[in-house]
Structure 1
Amino acid sequence: MSQDDDLSRQSLLELYQEETQTQTEALSRQLLALEHGAQDAAAFEACMRAAHSLKGAARIVGVPQGVEIAGRMEDCFVGAQRGERVLGASHIDALLMGVDLLVRVGDPRRAASVTPIEIDAFAVALAHADGAGDAGRAAPDAAAPLPPGFASGAVSALSADAPGSADFPALADLSALLRLDAPGAGASDTAGVPGGSLAAGAGPREAEAARPADLAAQLRLAADAAPAARPPAPPAPPSEAPAAPEPGGDAGQMRRVRADSLNRLLSLAGESLVESRWLKPFAESMQRMRRTQRDAARALDALYDALADDLDPAREAAMSEVRQMLNDLQRTFAARMDDLDRFERRSMHIAEQLYDEALQCRMRPFGDATRAYPRMVRDLARSLGKRVRFAIVGETTQVDRDLLDLLDAPLGHLLRNALDHGVEPPETRLARGKPAEAVITLEARHSAGSLLVSVTDDGPGADLAAVRAAIVRQRLTDAETAARLTDAEVLEFLLLPGFSMREQVTDVSGRGVGLDAVHEMVKRVRGAVRIFNEPGQGMRFVLQLPLTLSVIRSLLVEVGGEPYAFPLVHVRRALQLERGSIDVLEGQQHFSLDERRVGLVTAHQLFDAGEPEGVRANTAVVVVGTEPETYGVAVDRFLGERMLVVQPLDARLQKIRNVAAGALLENGDPVLIVDVEDLVRSIDKLIRGGQLTKLRSGADGALARRRKQVLVVDDSLTVRELERKLLEKRGYAVTIAVDGMDGWNAIRSDTFDLVVTDIDMPRMDGIELVTLIKRDPLLQGVPVMIVSYKDRDEDRRRGLDAGADYYLAKGSFHDEALLDAVHDLIGEATS
């Protein structure tokens, strides 16, 4: 065979693989519909056409296993179409077995793994379904032995009944294969052998009086199931049945294109769109130049009128010539501006069309990714002993092809989770007054510039008390904290890696990786997961995703004179915050949102953008994060919403903190796209280190740079806040620490003019803190004041001996006493 022939066959095999995938998906869909609905001629016709197409395609490319399997399936559908058989559950099981075999046969990498024994098993299962019928038969005694010599006689009868069968090598070994001649051999000896189930079909009475000729037809069926023993099938009549149409349109219009070519096309289309938008500001600048030119002409006319009486003929002629030239220039400029306006509109329109078409090339119907799910749900539900009706809504919803590929595994996890954890067995549902058949719905739709994919079940919903117990049992938090968690916060734990409600691992669940894999995938594409629970009614998992990975809808803001883009899918709220709405608790600024306190941080600190601008009456704030880590990021101002073409950053830059990617604005200016997950982690780190910068006005900022720093260390929230308010009211800058260890970390990471500490605190008490400070060569010069309820002389002496510079008893504590002591130690608040 020549190299060209090899390439031609390879191409045919690729086409055969594509057709196999398309037709088997159609077959699976139709078979599941037949299993749950009425059996009509149209459904049988569609199945028969698909099987016939697969048989013809397999014959063309020389795949005899495909011809064998598809041919038997086609015969079954034709019989059902003619009313010769009623397809029951056993038929559907056998036909789905054939579909699985066809999928493997159609894949060149897996075709060799399909063995004759598997094909025989399929043929036997199909034949058994025809013999058993829907009502089934009484199961024969499989342990009864067959008479000696039965198999050899049966083979002889089959040879006489089927002329030409002597040429079948497998027939000579049939009795040895079935191992029926040995005295006492029965069904147990043939359980794993093709055809064994047929031989075992005779009960005790039938076996006693059995004759080889009685089962010749059954043995002939077993022989037919072995493709190696069959002569090549004759070509099928060309007009036997029309080919099954491919779902989704005319296959002749389909072309295979490399994914990286589509990516480059979309990138170029995006750049073309950006370039076309540059024409508008250019045209506007030209219009301004046109107005300037008109003003110059008017000024020249005014000058001419003023000097007309004093001009000699030569100068007047020169002036008139200049005026004429300027008028001609104005007319020419106006004409060219009209041309530029038309070109700008046409260029913008074409660029937008090009971009939309390029974007559509990356989109696929959601249904393309869901074709395997009905079969998976059916098989898993049966293995779990549950009855489930599976519905898919929004199959035509357009989804980015890369996103669709990424969704496959997460949706599989969510569906298995709904089947295993969500819906109940039929008897439990009936006891609760529900239909025995549960409902699981997979839905995809577009909403507010995002793709929403949800998996909903009508089971009992999550047992929040059990989830709280599992949280404590797995030591994710203590019982007291778990009891204070809101329902939404409890459900968020389901997404943590390693978290599972199962105490034992099964084939379906219990490893704690399913929902974590869903969460990780959604975060990777800059999306979000929402969980909704209705006790007694079911659960719903919603994946909020971008419409495409190449373009994101974003909120554009300005920070330090530079634009930044927050992906809208991560923006919980954008608001203008009044200065009076900002409170300070434990040294950190907060504001109230939906009756909850939200921490406030400055984008200037997060992006190293210098000092914030002077405060305005209102501050623009972007609320990001999920409970309990929700923060408000203060920016300079909002610039509006934008659709941005994502441009990955150069790999040589590695990971840039708080930045996910870049993009270009309409005017060509670059903009950084914020990595919100990384941003939240940065905020947490700043909070733990006590390094958050407060939002101040310009005057307050200048004052803050000269204010003296006081560190207040106390485990009592009330005392901390009282001392902080007193000191800040007097003008001191105050930092809070919740115990001695927290205070020790704070004083080593920042510079303070004074430390005010309690004595009795967890982890490290005040005496130990004072001792550490006074022993440190770099810190021993910092004054330390002890404020404690202990007012005995020995306590006072113990504190002063440790190195404290001042000891104030809380029993005699009042406003002026504390402030006077601070003033005595470090003087006025400003230096």
Structure 2
Amino acid sequence: MKGDDLSGYSMDELFRAEAEQQCAILSDTLLRLEKASDVAPLLEILMRAAHSLKGAARIVGNDGAVRVAHAMEDLFVKAQKENVAPVAQTVDVLLSGVDLLRDLSITPDHAESASRIERFLAECSDLRPAPIPVMPAPVPAAVMEPVPAPEPEHGKKDVRLDAERLDNLLALAGQAVVSAAETGAGVTAVRAALRSLQTVLSELRNSDLTPRQRQLLRQAGALTSSCQSLAAEESERRDLHDRRLLQLCGRIYRETLSCRMRPFGDVAGALRRLVRDLARDLGKEVDLVIQGEDTEVDRDMIDRFEGALSHLIRNALDHGLETPAERLAAGKPPCGRLEITAHHHAGWLSVSVADDGRGMNVETIRQTVIRRGFSAEEHARQMSDQELSEFLLLPGFSLSERVTEISGRGVGLDAVRSMAYEVGGSIRLGQSAMGGFLCEIILPVALSLLRAVVVEVSGERYAFPLARIERIVEVTRADVHLIGGIQHAFLEGEKVEIFSAAQVLEVGEGDVSNDGINLVIIPSGQGRIGLAVDRLLGMKELSLQRLDGRLGRTQDVSSAALLEDGEVVIVLDINDLSVTAANFSAASQHRAIFPEDKTGPGYRILVADDSLTVRELERKLLVSQGYEVDTAVDGADAWNALRSGKYDLLVTDIDMPRLDGIELVKLVRNNAQLRDLPVIVMSYKERDEDRARGLEAGADYYLTKSSYQDESILGAVRELLGQPSVA
């Protein structure tokens, strides 16, 4: 560690850092030792790690760690002499020693430490003939040099930095980049002012001036030209300086950002240990392959997804991979294969867990969905494999009927999804290339960087994390329909509620000045919703800035960032925003996105029909004649709309769920405010008794869909609205 300033660290802190490094080496090498063909190099690494840790523990006076490390070192030396790998039982004991050393480096004087040390030493004595000697008192640090620890395999030194200070440094570096981009603005303004002055002087030359005034004017022109030349030279020097400064600030920012990065391999040792222990508990054989250990990941991101990987590994070993006997019966090798892969792709981090086990049985999922009441049987039968796999991500959903210490409680995949969504990522389930199960998590490479779509809402800039939005579409005024008092648009046959982003965020009414609006489509608990924004400003990679903790929890806001021009952009929390929009809808606070249309006849018609095709056919016909048309999906939806809005005419079907057309008409006629509302019934039923029922209920017209003609319905509409008929 020569050259590093470690004066600010205590000896105990230095020992803890070294113990963590050496314990990682011990654990990882022990796991590799079990399957290695050449054990000599690995035993040498283990012996040196234990020896280094023993020397460091002796310096800080940690007697327990000295005794444990010495016992492990003796076992490694014994194995070196015999040139054989320890058996599985011995590796189990040694791994427990690694855990003990890690705990002793943190809390050496814990009450349980003494009994754990003696128990470990007793287990070691059963593995080798010689007892462990009690080590002498520690030698003062001033007269003894510590044994240097081996460098990590990637050749870099780990320097521990306070996370908050590193975040502050990264924020300052980002601000420096923005400031460097603005430094040339002053010189540019001076040159513009000089050009304006030269123009004024030119105009003065054409005026009636005295000889003295003309002389002074020529002198002023000469001075202005001189200033322009000097400003041009200074501008060139400033441009060169600005470019160099911008490059330097960019390098500082990138280097600061790299300080947050750690190789994915930092979690590999813990994952290998987890797989080994679980496989032994389950009586299964597993060959673990970890690819992409050099892939760099934000250190905060590693802390977040390490637990998610543990969930996936538990699911894979308990549910996915079969026992050796089951695999042999299925024509597979007795040893299963588990692959964990990390790599960067298109600016994102992809981490996948795949196995060659049973795979995903979609029919089992379908039956579980039906049996547990997550969906009606008719609907579940029509679901695709991808739609069915989404149920595995729901809280409490499990295909296992067993409750074990490893899995079967309905937790795991939902926790993985929650983790991915919290950091702006996503998750994908499917079949692995080996024929088993695959779970891929897509995450930002760094939590301090975010790819986002920047928009403008009521003059303010906001950012939607790109991974959390489904898409952005443009819709026109004709695409927006009022159903039950709520605005909707139909996207690929799905009804999507739409809201003004300005109204939801409570920053005004929004600016919709033309016939088209941009909708940002985000997921919600009930499907999808669309937020209408004023303008799209493009996709950006943002350097996130932490909000001051004194602000507390800010609704709908996750963080902030600086744009290239120095302006602040608010990064929205999509989970919060979807809840806010749902509450906004429930409270019936939304207002029309488009300004009220004053053209056309000015009549408002409600069309109620449970058939999307018929409903849209009638709506388009009436809209083409200039009427304002809202639609309702059934009688209950129509009744709610009639009570919350003002309509000049109702066109309704008869056979509809929840409330049929006959009952709807009766409700209208029995309501004091609605009893005079004109009503047209459109039905497939052609019998005289059906026509009589409709007219007796209070309908003004009864038209059949089988004899549907544009002019028949339009003629009835014009008559009931008191408009002149078209010749």
Pairwise TM-score range, normalised by the shorter structure: 0.7 to 0.9
Shift of 1:108: 0.8
- Name the CA shift for 1:535/1:547 in 2 (closer, same or farther; >3 Å): closer
Aligned pairs for 1:375-414 (under 5 A) are: 375-414=273-312
SS at match of 2:619: helix
Question: Retained in 2: the 8 A contact 1:602–1:635?
Answer: no
Shift of 1:777: 4.2
Match of 1:501 among 395, 399, 403: 399
Alpha-carbon distance between aligned partners in 1 of 2:551 and 2:336, rounded to the nearest angstrom: 52
Aligned residues: 709
CA-to-aligned-CA distance 1:779-812 (integer Å, 9 cap, x gap)? 4453333334556676556555555444445566
Aligned to 2:103: 104
- Name the CA shift for 1:807/1:395 in 2 (closer, same or farther; >3 Å): same
- Name the CA shift for 1:242/1:291 in 2 (closer, same or farther; >3 Å): same
Match of 2:181 among 257, 277, 283: 277
Aligned to 1:44: 43
Aligned to 2:171: 267
SS at match of 2:111: helix
SS at match of 1:112: coil
SS at match of 1:646: strand
Aligned pairs for 1:478-493 (under 5 A) are: 478-493=376-391
Aligned pairs for 1:324-363 (under 5 A) are: 324-363=222-261
Most deviating of 18-27 and 793-802: 793-802
Aligned to 1:171: none
Match of 2:152 among 238, 247, 252: 247
- Name the CA shift for 1:541/1:688 in 2 (closer, same or farther; >3 Å): farther
The TM-score, its normalising length taken from structure 1, stands at 0.75
Aligned to 2:59: 60
Aligned to 1:79: 78
SS at match of 2:338: strand
Alpha-carbon distance between aligned partners in 2 of 1:235 and 1:270, rounded to the nearest angstrom: 48
Q: Confirm whether residue 440 of structure 1 aligns to residue 344 of structure 2.
A: no
Match of 1:323 among 221, 225, 245: 221
Most deviating of 476-485 and 348-357: 348-357
Shift of 1:484: 1.4
Alpha-carbon distance between aligned partners in 1 of 2:677 and 2:387, rounded to the nearest angstrom: 43
- Name the CA shift for 1:275/1:286 in 2 (closer, same or farther; >3 Å): same
Alpha-carbon distance between aligned partners in 2 of 1:807 and 1:563, rounded to the nearest angstrom: 53
SS at match of 1:443: strand
Alpha-carbon distance between aligned partners in 1 of 2:145 and 2:260, rounded to the nearest angstrom: 38
Alpha-carbon distance between aligned partners in 2 of 1:712 and 1:682, rounded to the nearest angstrom: 29
Q: Confirm whether residue 69 of structure 1 aligns to residue 80 of structure 2.
A: no
Aligned pairs for 1:556-575 (under 5 A) are: 556-558=454-456, 562-572=460-470
Shift of 1:438: 1.9
Aligned to 2:124: 126
Shift of 1:51: 0.9
SS at match of 2:401: coil
Match of 1:614 among 514, 524, 528: 514
Aligned pairs for 1:520-531 (under 5 A) are: 520-531=418-429
Match of 2:663 among 768, 782, 788: 768
- Name the CA shift for 1:39/1:11 in 2 (closer, same or farther; >3 Å): same
Q: Confirm whether residue 736 of structure 1 aligns to residue 634 of structure 2.
A: no
Shift of 1:346: 3.0
Shift of 1:688: 9.1
Alpha-carbon distance between aligned partners in 1 of 2:227 and 2:188, rounded to the nearest angstrom: 19
Aligned to 1:746: 641
Alpha-carbon distance between aligned partners in 2 of 1:402 and 1:591, rounded to the nearest angstrom: 38
Aligned to 2:91: 92
Question: Retained in 2: the 8 A contact 1:565–1:671?
Answer: yes
Alpha-carbon distance between aligned partners in 1 of 2:319 and 2:701, rounded to the nearest angstrom: 62
Question: Retained in 2: the 8 A contact 1:758–1:786?
Answer: yes
Alpha-carbon distance between aligned partners in 2 of 1:294 and 1:559, rounded to the nearest angstrom: 41
Question: Retained in 1: the 8 A contact 2:39–2:84?
Answer: no
Match of 1:819 among 700, 714, 725: 714
Alpha-carbon distance between aligned partners in 2 of 1:514 and 1:600, rounded to the nearest angstrom: 32
Alpha-carbon distance between aligned partners in 1 of 2:437 and 2:78, rounded to the nearest angstrom: 43
Aligned to 2:4: none
Most deviating of 676-685 and 68-77: 676-685
Aligned residue type for 2:610 = D
Question: 5+ unaligned residues in a row in structure 2: which ranges?
Answer: 1-6
Aligned to 2:3: none
Alpha-carbon distance between aligned partners in 2 of 1:353 and 1:701, rounded to the nearest angstrom: 54
Alpha-carbon distance between aligned partners in 1 of 2:672 and 2:315, rounded to the nearest angstrom: 60
Shift of 1:125: 3.5
Most deviating of 102-111 and 469-478: 102-111
Question: Retained in 2: the 8 A contact 1:553–1:641?
Answer: yes
- Name the CA shift for 1:786/1:611 in 2 (closer, same or farther; >3 Å): farther
CA-to-aligned-CA distance 1:600-625 (integer Å, 9 cap, x gap)? 95766766653523247xx8666655
Alpha-carbon distance between aligned partners in 2 of 1:316 and 1:812, rounded to the nearest angstrom: 92
- Name the CA shift for 1:109/1:512 in 2 (closer, same or farther; >3 Å): farther
SS at match of 2:269: coil
Aligned residue type for 1:343 = H
Question: Retained in 1: the 8 A contact 2:62–2:108?
Answer: no
Question: Retained in 1: the 8 A contact 2:510–2:533?
Answer: no
SS at match of 1:555: strand
Alpha-carbon distance between aligned partners in 2 of 1:725 and 1:44, rounded to the nearest angstrom: 79
Question: 5+ unaligned residues in a row in structure 1: which ranges?
Answer: 1-7, 131-217
SS at match of 1:643: strand
- Name the CA shift for 1:536/1:331 in 2 (closer, same or farther; >3 Å): closer
Question: Retained in 1: the 8 A contact 2:59–2:139?
Answer: no
- Name the CA shift for 1:48/1:628 in 2 (closer, same or farther; >3 Å): same
- Name the CA shift for 1:784/1:683 in 2 (closer, same or farther; >3 Å): farther
Question: Retained in 2: the 8 A contact 1:104–1:111?
Answer: no
Alpha-carbon distance between aligned partners in 1 of 2:589 and 2:649, rounded to the nearest angstrom: 18
Question: Retained in 1: the 8 A contact 2:18–2:149?
Answer: no
Shift of 1:579: 7.7
Shift of 1:81: 1.6
Question: Retained in 2: the 8 A contact 1:730–1:829?
Answer: no
Shift of 1:416: 1.1
Question: Retained in 2: the 8 A contact 1:621–1:634?
Answer: yes
Question: Retained in 2: the 8 A contact 1:366–1:444?
Answer: yes
Q: Confirm whether residue 759 of structure 1 aligns to residue 654 of structure 2.
A: yes
- Name the CA shift for 1:499/1:506 in 2 (closer, same or farther; >3 Å): same
- Name the CA shift for 1:787/1:719 in 2 (closer, same or farther; >3 Å): same
More helix by share: 1
SS at match of 1:371: helix
Aligned residue type for 2:57 = A
Aligned to 1:417: 315
Question: Retained in 2: the 8 A contact 1:49–1:242?
Answer: no
SS at match of 1:424: coil
CA-to-aligned-CA distance 1:115-173 (integer Å, 9 cap, x gap)? 43x4444344334445xxxxxxxxxxxxxxxxxxxxxxxxxxxxxxxxxxxxxxxxxxx
Alpha-carbon distance between aligned partners in 1 of 2:138 and 2:547, rounded to the nearest angstrom: 60
Aligned residue type for 1:245 = P
Q: Confirm whether residue 722 of structure 1 aligns to residue 627 of structure 2.
A: no
Alpha-carbon distance between aligned partners in 1 of 2:724 and 2:412, rounded to the nearest angstrom: 57
Aligned pairs for 1:502-517 (under 5 A) are: 502-517=400-415
SS at match of 1:368: helix
Alpha-carbon distance between aligned partners in 1 of 2:301 and 2:388, rounded to the nearest angstrom: 28
- Name the CA shift for 1:358/1:234 in 2 (closer, same or farther; >3 Å): closer
Alpha-carbon distance between aligned partners in 2 of 1:411 and 1:44, rounded to the nearest angstrom: 29
- Name the CA shift for 1:246/1:751 in 2 (closer, same or farther; >3 Å): farther
CA-to-aligned-CA distance 1:269-310 (integer Å, 9 cap, x gap)? 22222222223555554554454455556x36xx65x68xx9
Aligned to 1:23: 22
Shift of 1:534: 4.4
Aligned pairs for 1:219-238 (under 5 A) are: 224=131, 232=136
SS at match of 1:82: helix
Aligned residue type for 1:73 = M
Aligned residue type for 2:273 = R
Identity of aligned residues (%): 41
